[in-house]
Amino acid sequence: MNTENNTIIKVTGLEKSFKSVEVLKGIDTEIKQGEVVVVIGPSGSGKSTFLRCLNLLEMPTGGSVEFDGVNITDKHVNINKHREKMGMVFQQFHLFDNLTILKNITLAPVKLKRMSKKQAEEKAMELLRRVGLEDKANAYPAQLSGGQKQRVAIVRALAMNPKVMLFDEPTSALDPEMVGEVLDVMKELAREGMTMVVVTHEMGFAREVGTRVVFIDEGIIMEENEPEEFFANPKSPRLKEFLSKVIV
């Protein structure tokens, strides 16, 4: 355990290729407890791939990812055990369409024997109350709006008591008026001290909530800094160009 410096995730020389296409070309970074790391970059830059490599939804083709002191890219590691502690929220929500909201949330904790059914349901209801959706417990995903679905997806990940939360463009598939309700939930999580890695295009969120902003382009980390400095004094020409094109 790397408790002395509080590193939760340590990425070393991370590479990922799809057939002949090299997406990540060697990424090194550390994510410490309580950090909110916001990852930005142009589309196709590899930022989502980077995030998906952290919980091995994509298997890296080179380098290593250490989570909580364990090298999870090692073949002998049971990745399922570690994924329980890394919540993930997807752009397209991916709620289980055949289950009610409550069952969506309790499925993993109950089937993985982390909690009894009753405990899991109590926890789920408590979390749903926090995001203002306790009245939707028995609804099906198809009956919810995009913003509601994404809040449920966050709750579903939180129900496993994760040590870190990974967000893959959580607001990109939402109608503009629903972005706020999801960002609010994420802000509250950050305030409570949750360690988060967020891939997003929401520069306002990066500025307001992020403790560090990482700019990925052409498969490497081009630049990273704390938000104020990052947006005020970009150093690399690519980041300058990128920031000039997005509304900050």
Partner 1 sequence: MIALIVVLSAAIIVSFTLPVFAQVQDTAESVGFIEAVKEIPVAIKDGFVDLKDDIYSVLIEDDNYKHITNGLGVTLEITFFALIIGLLLGFAVAIVRSTYDKTGKLKLLNAVCKLYLTVTRGTPVIVQLLIIYYLWLGKMGVSETATAIIAFGLNSGAYVAEIVRSGIMSINNGQFEAGRSLGLSYFRTMIYVILPQAFKNVLPALANEFIVLLKETSVASFIAVKDMMKGANALVGFTYNMNIPYITVALIYLVLVLALQKLVGILERRLRNSEH
Residues at the interface with partner 1 (CB under 8 A)? 55, 57, 80-88, 90, 92, 94-100, 107-108, 111-112, 140-143, 153, 156-157, 160
Write down the least CB distance from residue 77 to partner 1, Å. 13
Give 140 or 231: the residue with its C-beta nearer to partner 1.
140
Of residues 72, 41, 84, 97, the one with CA closest to residue 243: 41
CA distances to 109, 129, 230 from 40, rounded to whole Å, are 32, 31, 11
Give 167 or 215: the residue with its C-beta nearer to partner 1.
167
Give 50 or 90: the residue with its C-beta nearer to partner 1.
90
Q: Which two tokens stand for residue 109?
A: 């904790």
Residues 6 or more apart whose CB falls under 8 angstroms from that of 218 comprise 25, 45, 46, 238
Write down the least CB distance from residue 123 to partner 1, Å. 14
Write down the least CB distance from residue 52 to partner 1, Å. 8
Write down the least CB distance from residue 217 to partner 1, Å. 25
Write down the least CB distance from residue 174 to partner 1, Å. 16
Strand extents, DSSP E, the chain = 7-18, 21-32, 36-40, 62-67, 70-71, 86-89, 164-168, 195-199, 212-217, 220-225
Give 166 or 239: the residue with its C-beta nearer to partner 1.
166
Q: Which two tokens stand for residue 41?
A: 């970059």
Identity of the residue numbered 229: E
Write down the least CB distance from residue 187 to partner 1, Å. 22
Give 160 or 213: the residue with its C-beta nearer to partner 1.
160
Give 85 or 201: the residue with its C-beta nearer to partner 1.
85
Q: Are 61 and 15 in contact (CB under 8 A)?
A: yes
Of residues 148, 159, 158, the one with CA closest to residue 182: 148
Q: Rounded to the nearest 10 degrees, how much is the dihedral formed by the CA atoms of 23, 25, 29, 33? A: 20
Q: Rounded to the nearest 10 degrees, how much is the dihedral formed by the CA atoms of 202, 135, 158, 173? A: -30
